[in-house]
A and B are shown apart, each in its own frame.
Chain A
Amino acid sequence: MPTEKSDLLQGTLDMLILKIVALGPVHGYGISMRIRQISKEVLQVQQGSLYPALHRLEKRGWLAAEWGASDKGRQAKFYKLSAKGRKQLESEESNWNRLAGAVANIMQTAQ
């Protein structure tokens, strides 16, 4: 288990959630698992940030939610991406890529 965990950049959590949800309907626990797994345990989402973020995105209409049974048969709230959310994800993704590219450029050039 890696000892160093990075805090998420302000505002990026929403994008990450949208990205994960874009892969298919998923519940809150699943999202935190995926973020942890895909980031190879570098990023760990605090539940205290995750759920308010999920509800915020749902309220904005970017996420749609419905109740369903999990793999183990438990009742869970599944989130999926709405059309509006998909657009939002695209714009955030392109923004992010530009920003990340720019930051990377600076870091390399200034070396």
Chain B
Amino acid sequence: MSWWKSLFPKRASDAQMNSELRFHIDELTDENIAAGMSPGEARRRALLEFGGQEKFKEEVRDVYRIRILDATVSNLKSAFRFIRKSPTFSAAIILTLALAIGANSAVFSAIDAILLRALPFPDADQLVRVDQYNQKTSSPLHLVAPVRLEDWNRLNSTFQALTGYYSEDVSESTGSLPERITRAWVSPRFYQVWAVSPVLGREFTPDEETLNGPAAVLISDRFWRRRFNADPNIIGKNLRLDDHLTPIAGVMPPSFLFPNREVDLWCPIPAGFSYGQARANNWFTVIGRLKSGVTVAQARANLATVQAQLARQFPKTDAELSVDIEPLKELTIADSRRSLWLLFGSVTLLLFIACTNIVALLLSRSAQRQHEISVRFSLGASRGALVAQLLTETFLLALIGSGLGLFLAAAASDIFRSLAAELPRVEEIHLDARIVVYSLACSVVVTLLCGLVPAVRGTRRSLSASLAQSGRSQVSGRNPLQWLLVGIQVALAVTLLAGAGLLLRSFQQLGRVSRGFDSSHILTFELSMNWGETGDMKKLRQFTDRILETLRATPGVDAAAISVGVPGAPFRYETELKLLEGRAETEPKLIAENRFVSASYFATMRILLLAGEVCRETDGPPTLVVNRTFADNYFPGSTAIGHHVQSLNLGYSGPAEIVGISGDARETGLDRAPVPTAYWCAPVAEPGTFFLVRTRNAPMTMAETIRRQIHDIEPQRSVYDFAPLEQHFSDALAENRLRTILLTFFAATALSLACIGVYGTLSYSVNVRQREVGLRLALGALRGQIVKQFLWQGLAVCILGCVAGFALAAASSRLLAGLLYGVSPSDVPTLSAVILLVLVVAAAASLIPAIRASRVDPMQVLRDE
């Protein structure tokens, strides 16, 4: 820590001091011997004459120490006195800094928790997600067949273990009403991969992980608290899961939120279960733990070799498959990274604006304190000491400000959660020592940024000459440094406003975009189901029909449909389709987004049918509807209707005839242009299928009625997640909204700070030049001229600031490019509006002091002289 040493002046080491003193004593002893004393007596006298050595050394040490300690203490004292003496001034600075440092620390705490820290698992950097994908289709389906997972585990040499899981909803019926809970089925080696043990109870036994072994379930901390009130004696009690009694084996720690924060319980799924044996049935998400020291690239290469071996062994199912490995952390946070850094950048700009504001305040303050500073100079204070004193004052203000700001940072988790519940790892944001240290570092940086210039300028020797002058001393009214600072503030505010304006415009564009479906008055919900039910498709079909009929018969409901995935919310299921009629090699492959919907979907969502008919829900040969983009892209100049296609990946859907062409709908997200889409008629609900109901009135008003209707016919199932369709869009855009709201807030704050800057600097200028104005008025100047002059002084700086800000915004627009929708980063209307706004606000801020200047009473001013 060499910087620490450099804070203190060089100090005589104790050893050197000792030998220096010893030399003196030895010499005295010699002197005494020469005077005729015995050596013992001589030494005794010498020591006596010399006095207490320790006291001495202490005094010598004090030469080095006392000044710095004393100075710090007295500087702190005077800083406190300074704050007490000018409470308004100090409060303004402290509040500005509390906001600026607090907001900065809050965003930093999010960055720290989400981006910087490892995931909350032991050695989390070893965790990766392993995907299989088909090279032929552009978008990978990452799911893996359970039997292939076992092969990988057996054949690889770079993983400690690989485990798979899938989750589904289940009804738990030990309570008075069935409750929908989320269960994750986890394959063996769950613990080897996660390395997280239950906080209560035990892990699964090997018996429980084998076929036909005893049942067991681990429950999440959240479920334990919500359902059992954190009962410590819960182990061994039974849950009734879809009518199977399952004993609770353990409770997982609160930080264990995998696969997601909604999960309530984990059940083991044995490797040998019957429907896991088909190599074409992919439904495990696979997580692996790398051996220590193994890189992702090595694991990728290793697993590619393994998969190539499997491809030779099972050419039919495995030949086309490739494997991809990504760090789990990367997959968890990738989407939030840009938003968070963008927010951090803007909040740091805000801090700079706050700093320039404070510099301006301190500058005008130090002009007022010239007299005090001159007196101290004349009393012999060194310039360094005065600078240190002024810096201590700034530091104390910054320290109090960042202390207050920590309250804001402490609320960061709640703020982020309420603005974007979908943000990953948001529950890990909390105030801890790292954030406190960060805030402290911020206050040091702020002290240097804000304090140094005013302190150095304020203590210029030439100023000491002003001691001779009176308080009415002549101060230049031009103060170019202050106006430069105002210009910087305006420029930075324009940059932030431009970013916020573009994001707002982009949000607005999203609202205006033609969706291709009518999302108003649509209520969505889900029913608890499990994959076991899909064994009896006939029964499931009856069940689905019964539900849809009940819904349609409900007063206030116009139409009802089912769909896997919600239209307009990100959900992708892209595969390659094979045209049975054959297709030339030169023609583009049929890559299509797949949607599985009931025939009533088109009427419910009001998606136009352009040609042909809606798919048929009959037991006959399957049919499908394609969208216009599909037809235009793959069958230009001819009709798509009548062709037969088959999906290469969807094992269970046989060849189907294209019977209709629908209008384009933004199925995969409001911000994504329609892609070629195939709507398969799937009149059977599965776990995760959404029910879509078109209501006559506000969607949510129907929720209770529907819940009761369904309970009457399906008392064992829970109905959950009632939400208007629009709510799904808003959830999908949560991150977009988070950055838009926060950036807008930062930009508004920046603008008001810049405004205060303009106002404050101009007011100061007016005050200083009162005499001049009075004189000019006395000599016949018109008040309008005075107003115009001061207004122009403020506006000219703002215009220059706008120009600089415009350039800055243009330079940084690249950062925004990927985050915008339907608006270019150099959108002229947005940027002009921003500049107009800034100029109007700046003009308003300049007008007040300008008018005040013109109201100066010449007589009053001249009399004061």
Question: Which residues of A come within 8 Å of B, CB atoms?
Answer: 27-29, 32, 46-48, 51-52, 55-56, 59, 70, 72, 74-77
Cβ–Cβ contact A51 & B21, under 8 A: yes
Residues 1-29 of B, flagged 1 when their CB comes within 8 A of A and 0 if not, give 00000000100100010011101101110
Cβ–Cβ contact A48 & B51, under 8 A: yes
Point out the residue from B12, B23, B51, B62 that lies within 8 Å of A70, measured CB to CB.
B23
The chain B residue sitting closest to A70, CB to CB, is: B23
Cβ–Cβ contact B24 & A28, under 8 A: yes
* Majority-rule SS of B interface residues: helix
Known: A47-B51, A59-B9. A76 touches B60 (CB 8 A): no
Contacts of B50 in A (CB 8 A): 47
A59 to B63, CA, bound (A): 8
* B30: Cβ under 8 A from any A Cβ: yes
Cβ–Cβ contact B56 & A29, under 8 A: no
How many residues does chain B have at the interface if contact means C-beta atoms less than 8 Å apart? 22
The winner among A32, A48, A56 for most chain B CB atoms within 10 A is A48
Point out the residue from B28, B49, B56 that lies within 8 Å of A51, measured CB to CB.
B56
The chain B residue sitting closest to A46, CB to CB, is: B51
A29 to B20, CA, bound (A): 9
Cβ–Cβ contact B62 & A47, under 8 A: no
Cβ–Cβ contact B56 & A77, under 8 A: no
The chain A residue sitting closest to B58, CB to CB, is: A52
Cβ–Cβ contact A56 & B23, under 8 A: no
Cβ–Cβ contact B59 & A47, under 8 A: no
The chain A residue sitting closest to B27, CB to CB, is: A29
Point out the residue from B24, B30, B55, B56 that lies within 8 Å of A72, measured CB to CB.
B30
Cβ–Cβ contact A52 & B19, under 8 A: no
Known: A75-B19, A75-B23. A48 touches B56 (CB 8 A): yes
* B64: Cβ under 8 A from any A Cβ: yes
Residues 450-478 of B, flagged 1 when their CB comes within 8 A of A and 0 if not, give 00000000000000000000000000000
Known: A55-B12, A59-B9, A77-B16. A47 touches B64 (CB 8 A): no
Contacts of B49 in A (CB 8 A): 47
Cβ–Cβ contact B23 & A77, under 8 A: yes
Cβ–Cβ contact B62 & A52, under 8 A: yes
Contacts of A51 in B (CB 8 A): 20-21, 56, 59-60
Give 19 pairs: A residue, B residue, CB < 8 Å, sorted on A: A27-B20, A27-B23, A28-B23, A28-B24, A29-B23, A29-B24, A47-B24, A48-B55, A51-B21, A52-B59, A52-B60, A52-B63, A55-B12, A55-B64, A56-B63, A72-B30, A75-B19, A76-B20, A77-B23
The chain B residue sitting closest to A55, CB to CB, is: B63
A74 to B64, CA, bound (A): 26
Least distance between B59 CB and chain A CB atoms (Å): 5
Contacts of A29 in B (CB 8 A): 23-24, 27-28
Cβ–Cβ contact A74 & B23, under 8 A: yes
Contacts of A47 in B (CB 8 A): 24, 49-51, 56
Point out the residue from B9, B20, B30 that lies within 8 Å of A28, measured CB to CB.
B20
Contacts of B16 in A (CB 8 A): 77
Contacts of B56 in A (CB 8 A): 47-48, 51-52
The winner among B9, B49, B51, B60 for most chain A CB atoms within 10 A is B60
A32 to B50, CA, bound (A): 12
The chain A residue sitting closest to B23, CB to CB, is: A76
A70 to B27, CA, bound (A): 10
A31 to B647, CA, bound (A): 103
